[in-house]
Structure 1
Amino acid sequence: MTMEQWKQPFFNEKMPACALRDGMLSFCLVDESGEGKAYGGLKYEVFDSAGQPYKGHLNGDGFARVDGHCRGPVVLVFDAEFETKGTFYSTLQAREKYPLPITELQVRAEQTQFSDPTGKRTGLSHSRQNGDQFYQVEVSDFVRHIAHLPPVAPSPHRPQRHALKMMADLSFGPPQPTLFGVVLFPNNHTVLEVRPLRALRPMLSTQDDFCALNLYQLALFASLSYCSFGQVPPEKPQDEVRFPLDPSVGNLFAEQLAGHQEAWRVDPEQTQRFYPLYEEVPYSRRFEILPFDPALYPQNRPELGDQQEHPARSHFFDDEKDGTDTQAFITHHDEVILIAVRGTASAADGLRDANAHQVHFAEGVGKAHDGFYQAYRAVRKFVLRYLDQFHTGQRIVMCGHSLGGAIALLLAEGLRRIPDANYNILLYTYGAPRAADSAFTAGASTLVHHRIVNHNDPVPSVPAPWMNTTAKLWIPGAVTLFSAPTAGGLLFAAGLVRIGGNPYQHHGEQQHFMPIMLPDGTHSSVLWKPGCESIEEAGRNRALQVQGDMPDREGLIRQLVQYKQHFMTASYIPAAWATLRRWQQAVDSNGPLVTQREFDLLDHALATMRKQLQDKRRELTRHRPANDRTYAYHEPLNAEIDRLNSSRERLQTLRWRRLEARDIYGSHAHSVTLQPCLKRWFRHRENQTRTQIASIPPATQSELGRAQPLDIDSIQ
């Protein structure tokens, strides 16, 4: 049928809209179960072909009938503002920055559920049979402002957009500058199935205590911090923004999770699927990416030029242009503000020098690595601006890998020290180097920091403690020690001794992945708290032995950061996943955290380390200068031998330790959303491994070759 044939029954050449008021139609809003009660009493407006409005309320079954409108199609809208004060929604409507235009329809849709737990449209609703027309619609179809709403889900039963455009072209319909709504045709009963407004939200524990849930989830977010934000256009947007790039920060939060899609990719070269544990929440309680709507928010207007705000500028920090090459992202919901710091990933400038100079940590006490401190200062203003706008008492959960972990530590302590801010911070870092001296570590003792170290990751051993506050040098003998280590030796002898100033020192409670081999020949690991430095120094030694001699510091650092045990997708994430599965199985079976065989393997490794320390002490004693009774190596070596003895005692407790749900899931241990979340997670075959103890998924060859580099000095 042509446009002229369609118009003939209703219009003539003298009249753009038919004045005859004998039209009739009815419609019903239903959820995916086919019930209309969720929308009962909802206020609607219908605009006929002459622009005349008809207002009313749906009955208790979500049904309405309109009689006497001008002959022809009508436009249906549900744009009434949500008006209940003192609710979570009213706080979003009233917030100072980016108040949200939340409608009553949105609130109702957030209270409905999907028929298919995956969130996919079924197309099989029995309500289709109850009407002349059937549409699967979105909240965004009926409201004026849609920038804060999710992207439209594909469906074969979408209302035809050309019908709305046709009415606009004919110059009738509602008087608004931009036509919106759904076109209904006369003498028909139309069933409108509204897609639930539900989103997926990665679960994060807000408790201080370490838990396997956060270990795994934050490993994924630390890796995601290496991705771009993915906004199109990236700068100076005019009327809308999109996030098509997968993986990217914007795509994950604004597209996939907002659209109830279970995303798993956090690295462009990733092939293994590592799904976060997602809880389904009302859409407004998701991790938010701010809307972009120049008509609604003056700060979004393109004419502001360099001062224009848009999502990439609010959520994503990239300091490549200013020299520190620091990158971070931030987002939030009503309980958590999430910050992930990447640090530097570019080796374009190379290592500028061999300096590990320390500078005063102005926001607290002690001294910090100069380059790390500069990066922290660069990102601090960005984070504070976001917190000033959206922090309402949430727990601030931070994470970072490699150098990003060092920067995240300084940022966490800097935020914690702000007077009267009352920021409650929880920090997880992965393979982070030492960021500051012992005075800083003591001053930050109340900061909750869980420091994750892979057994063979050499990066946590740098900067070495002896790299002092003033000298650009290698201490005498250090080059020889590092470039030609004795077989099986530990690189700690110089590392435990300082030359001047306070030594570099790690902060936080160490959680260590100790590798083991299972009876079937696959690899796994045991996560525990050894409480000693030797293991980290051994990781550096092992990396050098594998990679070859490198006497100059620039080559050393380059080797260390490209060692495969430092990678996220090839090392830390698989080990975190295996730990989560191991702990889940231990709780399910009410068994110990380690078997007797595993204990014997770990105990043998620690006994070997202890012997190496003792051998090194005897060697140093033989070469002690005459008349030197205070040879500096003895005291730190003796202290480390004592710490290794304590570590073996800690290991003993693992044989008897029984885990509880709180050890795994933290503050979510007794949440009503936990079981649905686990059911969703276990639907994926990758999470269904049920060996005696979960093995670590082997990395693919492409992932083994992908470095997450730490350029320890190029940011100075």
Structure 2
Amino acid sequence: MKLDAWKQPFFSGKMPACALKGHWVSFSLVDETGSGKAYGGLPYTLYDSTGCQYDGRLNGEGFARLQGFYCGPVVLKFDGLYSGAQAPYYQLRTRVAYELPITELQIRAEQTRFSTKDGRRTEGNPAQSQADRFYQVEVRDLVRHVAHLPPVTPRTHRPQRHALKMMADLGFGPPQPALSGVVLFPNQHSVLEVRPLRALRPMLSIEDSFCALNLYQLALMSTLSYCDFGQQPPKKPIDHVSFPLDPTVGNLFAEKLSLFEDAWRVDPEQVQRFYPLYQEVPYSLRFEILPFDPELYPQNRPALEHEQEHPARLHFFDDEKFGTDTQAFITHHDEIVLIAVRGTASGADALRDANAHQVPFSEGVGNAHEGFYQAYRAMRDFVLHYLDLFHSGQRIVICGHSLGGAIALLLAEGLRRVPGSQYNILLYTYGAPRAADSEFADGASSLIHHRIVNHNDPVPSVPATWMNTTTKLWVPGAVTLFSAPAAGGLLFAAGLVRVGGNPYQHHGEQQHFMPIKLPDGTHSSVLWTPGCESILEAGCNRAVQLHGDMPGRDNLLKQLFQANQHFMTASYIPAAWATLRRWQQTLDSQGPLVTPREFELLDLALETMTRQLRNKNRELERRRPANQRGCGHEHNQALNAEIDRLHTSRRRLESLRWRRLEARDVYGSHAQSSQLQPSLKRWFSHRENRELAQIASIPAPIQSSPLNPQPLDIDSIV
């Protein structure tokens, strides 16, 4: 023992440091309401100034007292690991990779709640008046291994960390070299307010059926895939990592949601606030970003050089090896593995989009778009490695926008066909182009895929069904098809006919978002399943027209992939939000999904489209030689098939006049959850979600005469 230790600042002049016994210390662990019952019976360890260890248990009120230790401060720790079999803690403690050092203290803190709705610390804990010293502590203050725990939040009454370091410097305290624990001072009662370990996680339905909740939530996650992972340092970390940059994937999941912050940014350029619907969960049930701790995990050690594992390498795919520029992130909790794939974001992406040559889909049947297939193959092993480590029967939810949607489709089907895997996959894509041929689509028919298309987004119209060529050949063809559509016409007959090989074909059930401007100036919107190609092609024609009648060949791709209604934050996210809000209103009012005013306008548009197709069919027939008329030319067959699909679309539209929504249509598997109402209350606390945009509103009925019949193209609806 160092006899001059009493000279150090944290010792009282009345308390010289000597090896005499007879002093006492008492302490309580309490929650934010001042109650210690949550921590009753919890085992603890104290170390005195000579390194002697004292083990004990808190009483039922979270209180303990130690008498007769060597004088000087003591160090309090709650390092006892959980030894029970309760899910999910047992699985996390014993899993094959990155087993977590979950303590009994952590589990108790996860069962407590914040005293404020937003998780901010409060002042004036009722137990503070009973204390000589009051500290606001976190679980990480009291345990040794902290990499799996959230960062520290701001606090007024922080424990005196410098005292712990000074004790170690003087040779006092526990024998472990790591600094851990809270210093308590002798002959005083200390109260430690433990911050609850609660987190927010985006709500996602795990049901097969389409729901407005997933439509909106996965639009946000698809947009987040464009962000960096945000890890600092990004490569070759030494002892710890952080995620300070907002918005990034790591910042959202590892910091904001882990700290119970209601985050809203998923795009660096985002101005409008779009909040996900979050549910409050125990910290261990959040979407996980894995810990980095070279002391615990040999695979984290810097000496491994290029083989070193760290969170960015495990959760974030940014292709360098194959040069495809593909990007995606993956994370999970006990019910869901979430995978989001980035869309077109670079010149390399655009060239890959343009490579419409078909190659065999070797994992299954049919042929796939070569550029998309190469991108999928680049990330396949990354995803399989993660699933080998952390998939334990969860639903795999995959989403992606644009190019990301096409890659997500191939990934979903590829995973579904992994021998012996039995992965249960749910896929949502936004503005995705066609990724494969009709044989692939037939072979993947049992894959649950909800394909979202915004009204005038041109990208779902490419590659055209006749494309099976390399870039040099199809770009001029696309210019011919899209550059000069007749005003009000649907001149896409060539796009309905293949030239060699199986045609490109969309997979999944289309959900089409259609904004509507009614004759009185009212704006509304309808999400429906038209089931025909005409609307897609009309939207593509209109989008190209908006950029000029004759786009140059070199900028056609840019024109298509940068059309305003293809962007996520400008288009798909607002449309998804509008649908969710409108469906919430419809559920509350028990009204129909489509009002009579909206139905009449849309039905007129579909009737006009049908008439245009019939006129085009007759025109093509007249142009054929007399001796070939009536022989069922493939162009006529394609147009007749599309006319039949338009009839089906009109029947589907009519059915929406009578359909009444159920809670599952809006919230999926969360419809009956006890978490739904608290989550909605949190979501509606933001003014953006209370103030309805006109497009999300249900138009009021008009008692005057019905709409006058008028010639109406689908393009003229907006």
TM-score (norm 1): 0.93
> What amino acid does structure 1 have at the position aligned with 2:668?
G
Structure 1: how far apart are the matches of 2:185 and 2:68? Answer: 14
The match for 1:646 is 648
The match for 2:716 is none
What secondary structure is seen at the aligned counterpart in 2 of 1:633? helix
What secondary structure is seen at the aligned counterpart in 1 of 2:619? helix
Structure 1: how far apart are the matches of 2:655 and 2:388? Answer: 45
What secondary structure is seen at the aligned counterpart in 2 of 1:495? helix
Deviation by residue 1:494-515 (Cα, 9 ceiling, x = unmatched): 1101110000000000000011
Change (3 A) 1:559 1:329: same
Matching of residue 262 in structure 1 with residue 228 in structure 2 = no
What secondary structure is seen at the aligned counterpart in 1 of 2:221? helix
Structure 2: how far apart are the matches of 1:667 and 1:489? Answer: 43
Is the contact between residue 430 and residue 451 of structure 1 (CA under 8 Å) also seen in structure 2? yes
Structure 1: how far apart are the matches of 2:518 and 2:262? Answer: 31
Structure 1: how far apart are the matches of 2:382 and 2:697? Answer: 40
The match for 1:272 is 272
Structure 1: how far apart are the matches of 2:586 and 2:36? Answer: 46
Q: How does 1:91-110 map to 2 (within 5 A)?
A: 91-110=91-110
**Unaligned 5+ runs, structure 1:** 697-716
Is the contact between residue 30 and residue 38 of structure 2 (CA under 8 Å) also seen in structure 1? yes
Deviation by residue 1:151-189 (Cα, 9 ceiling, x = unmatched): 111111111221222212222111111121111111211
Deviation by residue 1:58-111 (Cα, 9 ceiling, x = unmatched): 000000011111111111100001111353211111111000000000011111
4+ runs deviating over 3 angstroms: 2-12, 348-355, 469-472, 474-481, 518-524, 549-554, 690-693
The match for 1:675 is 677
The match for 2:658 is 656
Is the contact between residue 478 and residue 494 of structure 1 (CA under 8 Å) also seen in structure 2? no
> What amino acid does structure 1 have at the position aligned with 2:675?
T
> What amino acid does structure 1 have at the position aligned with 2:677?
Q
The match for 2:623 is 623
Is the contact between residue 532 and residue 645 of structure 2 (CA under 8 Å) also seen in structure 1? yes
The match for 2:357 is 357
The match for 1:665 is 667
Deviation by residue 1:103-124 (Cα, 9 ceiling, x = unmatched): 0000111111111011111123
Change (3 A) 1:407 1:681: same
Structure 2: how far apart are the matches of 1:483 and 1:232? Answer: 47
The match for 2:714 is none
User: Is the deviation greater in 239-248 or in 348-357?
Assistant: 348-357
Q: How does 1:275-424 map to 2 (within 5 A)?
A: 275-320=275-320, 322-347=322-347, 351=351, 355-424=355-424
Structure 2: how far apart are the matches of 1:499 and 1:573? Answer: 36
Change (3 A) 1:7 1:541: same
> What amino acid does structure 1 have at the position aligned with 2:570?
A
What secondary structure is seen at the aligned counterpart in 2 of 1:291? coil
Is the contact between residue 209 and residue 666 of structure 1 (CA under 8 Å) also seen in structure 2? yes
The match for 2:549 is 549
Percent of aligned pairs sharing the same letter: 73
Structure 1: how far apart are the matches of 2:412 and 2:86? Answer: 32
Is the contact between residue 469 and residue 500 of structure 1 (CA under 8 Å) also seen in structure 2? no
> What amino acid does structure 2 have at the position aligned with 1:539?
G
The match for 1:222 is 222
Change (3 A) 1:527 1:6: closer
Superposition deviation, residue 519 in structure 1: 8.2
Structure 1: how far apart are the matches of 2:356 and 2:401? Answer: 20
Change (3 A) 1:31 1:478: closer
The match for 1:126 is 126
> What amino acid does structure 1 have at the position aligned with 2:466?
W
User: Is the deviation greater in 600-609 or in 407-416?
Assistant: 600-609
Structure 2: how far apart are the matches of 1:131 and 1:272? Answer: 46
What secondary structure is seen at the aligned counterpart in 2 of 1:204? coil
What secondary structure is seen at the aligned counterpart in 1 of 2:496? coil
Deviation by residue 1:243-274 (Cα, 9 ceiling, x = unmatched): 00100000000000111111110000001111
Change (3 A) 1:386 1:487: same
Superposition deviation, residue 624 in structure 1: 2.1
Structure 1: how far apart are the matches of 2:330 and 2:478? Answer: 41
Structure 1: how far apart are the matches of 2:633 and 2:518? Answer: 43
Structure 2: how far apart are the matches of 1:224 and 1:475? Answer: 30
Is the contact between residue 327 and residue 344 of structure 1 (CA under 8 Å) also seen in structure 2? no
State the Cα RMSD in Å.
2.0
Is the contact between residue 324 and residue 348 of structure 2 (CA under 8 Å) also seen in structure 1? no
Structure 2: how far apart are the matches of 1:5 and 1:586? Answer: 67
> What amino acid does structure 1 have at the position aligned with 2:586?
A
> What amino acid does structure 1 have at the position aligned with 2:418?
I
Structure 2: how far apart are the matches of 1:477 and 1:327? Answer: 30
Structure 2: how far apart are the matches of 1:456 and 1:550? Answer: 18
Is the contact between residue 144 and residue 180 of structure 2 (CA under 8 Å) also seen in structure 1? yes
Deviation by residue 1:624-676 (Cα, 9 ceiling, x = unmatched): 24433343311111111111111111111111110000000111110111111
The match for 1:633 is 635
User: Is the deviation greater in 518-527 or in 295-304?
Assistant: 518-527
Deviation by residue 1:8-42 (Cα, 9 ceiling, x = unmatched): 64776xxxx52011211110000112110100000
**Unaligned 5+ runs, structure 2:** 1-5, 699-718
User: Is the deviation greater in 342-351 or in 441-450?
Assistant: 342-351
Equivalent residues, number: 691
Structure 2: how far apart are the matches of 1:586 and 1:481? Answer: 40
Change (3 A) 1:36 1:695: same
Deviation by residue 1:197-246 (Cα, 9 ceiling, x = unmatched): 11101110000000000000000000000000000000000000000010
Superposition deviation, residue 558 in structure 1: 1.5
Superposition deviation, residue 597 in structure 1: 1.2
Change (3 A) 1:581 1:349: closer
Superposition deviation, residue 592 in structure 1: 1.1
Higher RCO (CA-CA < 8 Å; seq separation 6+): 1
> What amino acid does structure 1 have at the position aligned with 2:369?
H
Deviation by residue 1:104-149 (Cα, 9 ceiling, x = unmatched): 0001111111110111111232111121111111000000000000
Matching of residue 465 in structure 1 with residue 472 in structure 2 = no
Change (3 A) 1:239 1:604: same
Superposition deviation, residue 556 in structure 1: 2.0
